[in-house]
């Protein structure tokens, strides 16, 4: 029996999951770490926390499985994507806290770029200028962190997304690499020429030598300190697409986590959106690059946490299903959940949340239902834009993530989309994708052998009502939430 260990380094916690060769979970461990908020809208992580929690969960998972490290054939790594770490090449010491993908400190710079440099950035990277991506975070560190500037002057600066930082620390030879899926999220990588774009690197003032080598998503990159090689790398959403075995053009998945991320496989040719979606590299295997279009919703599970922790309207996430099921609809209430700005297709960091249409008859059940409506309406909006951009029909939506446990929400999503919603038996498809890529890197299986491995836990088929009039009224509420902060 072959075992693969997958590390899923996320925004709020780090997981390690051991899968056997049939992709059944053998053991897992998870550890949360501190979120750092230096100012309103700023989000940071301690880079040492990312490494320490990774090592802790690896050791715990191996112990729980009753295995030795020699029993593990390979390690796959998947990670929060656009988060940036800066460190010193000689000492290995971080030079600043990691700046997290959620951080909005470079909002003004991103707006400036959208107003004047969109044509420089979008055709090369497939991205729309936003503080979400790595380039403006690196630029900010060089301008505002003296230790980062000093390391750059000494040619000792290393920049990396979280995969690069973990591999540097986990591999014996201090391997300095990233894969194409992560590189394509930096706003510095030319996704058609498949190289760091020298014009963009120079434009943002990033020392070229500070950027890692870009490698295939499935390749042995180095021997880990534990023994097994690191053989698979992918950003978390691309790993989820792979774990869902979405290998054909038109295959579309949505991960409902802290935020929602919808990706459609577009095959070996990039499809550049004219509707505000992102074009990204999904993975590269055997020198063949697979592309995807992506739409992101910055707050999904975060809205459920907000209902519980800040608003006190629910005592547990499970209660949303009970409350939403208890009412026929939202009773005319509509919610725009832009708690941290809006992603695709608006890219408006100034948007703010809005609840409209409430009356004396509005109950907490109606408000909870309005929040769930927001999740499914935003998903429909992005899927419709993908169809418009690609001309490819979406026949089913493959879903995963913690929020998919809500059966009411999944059925509502099927109704609103008008297509089947297919919930995976394995909810940890992000980690599964990393494990699959690692096994491919060692030749343990082929891509054809993986095609039939996905297991469906439940299919939600659409009903007769698509909630079209409510959807149109909700879009008006969303419009009102934008450009709130001038």
Residue 280: strand pairing partners: 292
Buried residues in 469-485 as b, exposed as e (16+ CB within 10 A): ebbebbeebbeebbeee
DSSP summary character for residue 86 = E
**Residue 484: band (very low, low, confident or very high) from pLDDT cuts 50, 70, 90:** low
Q: Which residue is associated with the tokens 């301690």?
A: 46
d(CA 331, CA 142): 51
Residue 118: is its pLDDT beyond 70?
yes
Q: From residue 310, how far is each of 40, 131, 259, 477 by CA, in Å? A: 16, 25, 17, 22
Average pLDDT of the residues of the chain: 93
In degrees, to the nearest 5, what angle opens at C-alpha 22 toward C-alphas 19 and 23?
Answer: 40
CB count within 10 Å of CB 37 equals 11
- What integer is the mean pLDDT of 288-300? 93
**Residue 159: band (very low, low, confident or very high) from pLDDT cuts 50, 70, 90:** very high
Q: Which of 18-32, 172-186, 446-460 has the lowest mean pLDDT?
A: 446-460
- What integer is the mean pLDDT of 9-20? 94
Q: What is the pLDDT of residue 485?
A: 59
d(CA 124, CA 350): 26
**Residue 452: band (very low, low, confident or very high) from pLDDT cuts 50, 70, 90:** confident
- What integer is the mean pLDDT of 179-208? 96
Q: What is the pLDDT of residue 40?
A: 86
Q: From residue 324, how far is each of 207, 257, 334, 460 by CA, in Å? A: 52, 19, 14, 17
- In order of their start, the domains of the chain are 3-237 (3.30.420.40)
- Tokens for 101? 């993908």
List Cβ<8 Å contacts ≥24 apart for 350-357. Answer: 350/107, 350/482, 350/483, 350/484, 350/485, 350/486, 351/481, 351/482, 351/483, 351/484, 352/481, 352/484, 352/485, 353/481, 354/477, 354/480, 354/481, 356/477, 356/480, 357/330, 357/332, 357/333, 357/477
**Residue 408: band (very low, low, confident or very high) from pLDDT cuts 50, 70, 90:** very high
DSSP summary character for residue 326 = T
CB count within 10 Å of CB 143 equals 11
CA dihedral in degrees (229, 237, 281, 176; nearest 10)? -40
Q: pLDDT tens digit string along 142-153?
A: 999 999 999 999
Q: Which of 316-325, 338-347, 385-394, 412-421 has the lowest mean pLDDT?
A: 338-347
Residue 483: is its pLDDT beyond 70?
no
Q: Measuring CA to CA, which residue among 346, 337, 350 is closest to residue 300?
A: 337
- What integer is the mean pLDDT of 187-206? 96
**Residue 481: band (very low, low, confident or very high) from pLDDT cuts 50, 70, 90:** confident
- Tokens for 285? 């295997």
Q: pLDDT tens digit string along 47-68?
A: 999 999 999 999 999 999 999 9
CA dihedral in degrees (112, 115, 120, 125; nearest 10)? 80
Q: Measuring CA to CA, which residue among 127, 132, 188 is closest to residue 160?
A: 188
Q: pLDDT tens digit string along 428-448?
A: 899 999 999 999 999 998 888
- What integer is the mean pLDDT of 19-46? 93
Residue 385: is its pLDDT beyond 90?
yes
d(CA 271, CA 278): 9
**Residue 237 backbone phi and psi in degrees, to 5:** -75, -35
């Amino acid at each position: 029996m072959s075992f693969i260990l997958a590390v899923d380094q996320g925004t709020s916690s780090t997981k390690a999951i051991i899968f056997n060769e049939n992709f059944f979970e053998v053991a897992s461990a998870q550890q949360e770490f501190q979120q750092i908020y230096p100012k309103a809208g700023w989000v940071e992580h301690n880079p040492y926390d990312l490494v320490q929690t990774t090592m802790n969960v690896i050791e715990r998972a191996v112990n729980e499985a009753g295995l030795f490290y020699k029993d593990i054939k390979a390690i796959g790594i998947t990670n929060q994507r656009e988060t940036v770490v800066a460190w010193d090449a000689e000492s290995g010491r971080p030079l600043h806290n990691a700046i997290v993908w959620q951080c909005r400190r470079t909002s003004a710079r991103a707006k400036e770029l959208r107003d004047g440099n969109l044509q420089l950035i979008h055709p090369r990277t497939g991205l729309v200028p936003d503080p979400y991506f790595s380039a403006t975070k690196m630029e900010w560190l060089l301008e505002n962190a003296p230790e980062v500037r000093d390391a750059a002057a000494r040619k000792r600066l290393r920049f990396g997304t979280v995969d690069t930082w973990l591999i540097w620390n986990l591999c014996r030879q201090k391997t300095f690499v990233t894969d194409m899926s992560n590189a394509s999220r930096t706003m510095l990588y030319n996704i058609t020429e498949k190289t760091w774009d020298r014009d963009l690197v120079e434009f943002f003032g990033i020392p070229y030598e500070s950027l890692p080598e870009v490698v295939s998503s499935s390749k042995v990159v180095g021997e880990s300190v534990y023994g097994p090689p690191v053989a698979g790398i992918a950003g978390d959403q691309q790993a989820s697409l792979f774990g869902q075995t979405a290998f054909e053009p038109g295959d579309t998945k949505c991960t409902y986590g802290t935020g929602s991320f919808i990706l459609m496989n577009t095959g070996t040719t990039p499809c550049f959106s004219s509707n505000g979606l992102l074009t990204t590299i999904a993975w590269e295997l055997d020198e063949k690059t697979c592309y995807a279009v992506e739409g992101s919703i910055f707050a999904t599970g975060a809205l459920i946490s907000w209902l519980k922790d800040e608003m006190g309207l629910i005592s547990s996430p499970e209660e949303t299903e009970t409350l939403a099921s208890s009412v026929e609809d939202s009773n005319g209430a509509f919610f725009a959940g832009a708690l941290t700005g809006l992603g695709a297709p608006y890219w408006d960091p100034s948007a703010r949340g809005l609840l409209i249409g409430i009356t004396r008859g509005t109950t907490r059940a109606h408000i909870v239902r309005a929040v769930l409506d927001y999740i499914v309406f935003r998903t429909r909006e992005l899927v419709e834009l993908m169809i418009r951009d690609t001309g490819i029909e979406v026949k089913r939506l493959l879903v995963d993530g913690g929020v998919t446990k809500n059966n009411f929400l999944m059925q509502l999503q099927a109704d609103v989309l008008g297509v089947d919603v297919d919930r995976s038996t394995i909810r940890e498809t992000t980690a599964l994708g990393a494990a699959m890529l690692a096994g491919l890197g060692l030749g343990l299986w082929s891509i054809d052998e993986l095609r039939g491995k996905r297991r469906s836990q439940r299919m939600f088929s659409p009903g007769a009502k698509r909630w079209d009039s409510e959807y149109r009224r909700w879009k008006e509420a969303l419009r009102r939430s934008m450009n709130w902060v001038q």
